Structure 1
Amino acid sequence: MGRWGRRGTAGAAIAARLSFDNVSHSYDTAPAVDRVTLDIEPAEFVCLLGHSGCGKTTLLKLAAGLEEPSSGSIMINGQAVSGGSRFVPPEKRGVGLMFQDFALFPHLSILKNVMFGLTTLPRGDAEREALKALRRVGLEDYAELYPHALSGGEQQRVALARAIAPRPSVLLMDEPFSGLDSRLRDEVRDETLAVLRETRATCIIVTHDPEEAMRMADRIVLMRSGRLVQVGTASELYHTPVDLAAARFFTELNEIPGEVEGGRVVTPVGDFARQGVVSGEEVTVCVRPHGVRLVEPGAGVPGRLVARRFLGEVERLDIAVEGLDGPLKARSRDMNPVAVGSEVGVAIDEAAVLMFPVRGERTRFGD
């Protein structure tokens, strides 16, 4: 797909603080964003994460000025741009936009597409800034071509060049990598992140992909039904999810019934130290597959290997354990030669265990 431009050559912006204060928005009678309060620091990279319909794209549109909130206010550097009687149009917010379909104008050359947001500059200056942005994404030689002549990855790079050329203080991106072939996605994502770090703009990206959010964001904002569920670093959301639905979002889980007995939780796969749940209540014990390990028969919990699948760097193992409705799932790098059908022992790494009260399990992400 061609080389990107030299790193460290993107023009820098003056980053802005973006704040949402008790912001709500509805379509007809359905709430899309519900009382959201969030501060995003200058030059911070934040991912809005969640399933379709959770409100993340609506929140992005509210920040851009493409929608006006039903209540609450939005501020850039402490100045209200939405809320009450105040509404600043998108073109006057100092905000850059990048959409999942790239939104390139088919009748304009690549250079003119990038120049589109530079209308306040004299033509010569606008052309120089556009060529500089194209050079940074490695497409300066494509300036006179039209979008149809470019691959999907190249069109994404043009959209990025157009977004950074005006040096916005805030850059908003809606699923910018979702349309790319999986072979290209990692490279384009990593190079895009490098460009965005160079611009020093405050960045918000909408995604439904937890791995993408963890790879890119300083902080992740997990959303559900228009509300903020949890805000924190990738490590915080992965290791200390606020509820079972949040835990499910970031990793596959073995969900095992457990009963609290004093300071321990008793399950069919062993007893574990209680994690802040009330004595006497039923809990769901969640074990991540990488925390399930095969040991010699007679050690650990008795089980039987019922299936195995080679996945490259790891193997996926299914293990039948008495007391469980379905097989215990494991991911192993050991490439253990145990044959399917063999009796095995199962050991659980307690660091891979999470616990949640049964009463809270009905909370799931809505579409």
Structure 2
Amino acid sequence: MLTTTSAPNHDLVAGLDKPLHVLKEDGTRRPDPTLDPMLRDVDLEMLRDLYLDMAVVRAIDDEAVALQRQGELGLWPPLRGQEAAQIGLGRALPETDFLFTSYRENALAWCRGVGPGEMLSVWRGTTLSGWDPFAHHMATPQVIIGAQAHHAVGYAMATQAQGKDDIAVSCFGDGALSQGDVNEAMVFAASFHAPVLFFCQNNHYAISEPVDVQATVPIALRPTGFGIPSLRIDGNDVLAVRAASLLASQHIRAGKGPMFIEAVTYRLGPHTTSDDPTRYRDEKELERWRRRCPLGRLERHLEQLGASVEELRTEAERRSHEATTAMQEAVAALPSPAPERMFEHVLATEHPGLLRQREQFRAFTDSLAPEQAEGSAA
């Protein structure tokens, strides 16, 4: 059982007073008895791959923001600052584990091989669902806050009933802990010993609401009320996230029930491209978190190990250019669907209400036909 010496009354949570970490902000490696056993396989090649993953994901994110500003996308939810939390989780789990995420986990989609067209089509408004969930073992992004927690627990209970070794992962932000769905999901997970990992990226803001208004105690304490053990880690330390994810998945696969991880990180950009974060946070706070950048931290660690940082940056730029070019080409190639397709794949079976709406839409478009014909003739 996970313990913390400074908070003996909370023996289900580790990292309560200070998030667990193994990389200091200056890149120095420090020992941690909880996480170190999960990091014995880390070598220079793995560190290099993690850095390249984070660099490419940041470039993808920046390009998507640029595409939205150019009018190519209707909206985009930036993840800048949260690269380590998502890459650390994504590269720790086998691809058969099923992910249920919110709208910001585009780095996890990258890890699961989701293509640029699949990733961007929803935000361009050309489809209702960007990719086949079963092809990538990842559900399409959930916009309703916290709803994916129910989906993850249901899937986990199904895999458990089938005797499979796979686990489900539910990813959400700090604001989702204020939603009933997440708390109800934890009740079911604890009661039925479901093989599910609850992964919270505490990026300090639920849109504009700071986390200290949402929670007067560390978020990692909440699941312990349901009997779910919890880890609180530095979400800007990719090695700490990877180690915690491995530790949690081992616990779950051993039949010990669900676990919860709080990855303490920070959203450097806006909530979405329609948000203005300057209205609710100041530059000093932003600058403090810029210094904790997950890419800079790992780069400094690699430099201390004697790796060629310049060569790594060059390779990151090359891969980033490939990825962003593919995004630009994918957006240009996305077809504009017929308006009537909005009625397809809404329900599994036909429903009188939906059929009525479809007929009303057809009648409306038919009524426009004479006006359009006159306009063309003129």
- Answer yes or no: same fold by TM over 0.5: no
Q: Using CA pairs below 8 Å that are at least 6 residues apart, which structure has the higher relative contact order?
A: 2
What TM-score do the two structures reach when normalised by structure 1?
Answer: 0.28
Please, what TM-score do these two structures have when normalized by structure 2? Answer: 0.27
More helix by share: 2
Larger Rg: 1
More strand by share: 1
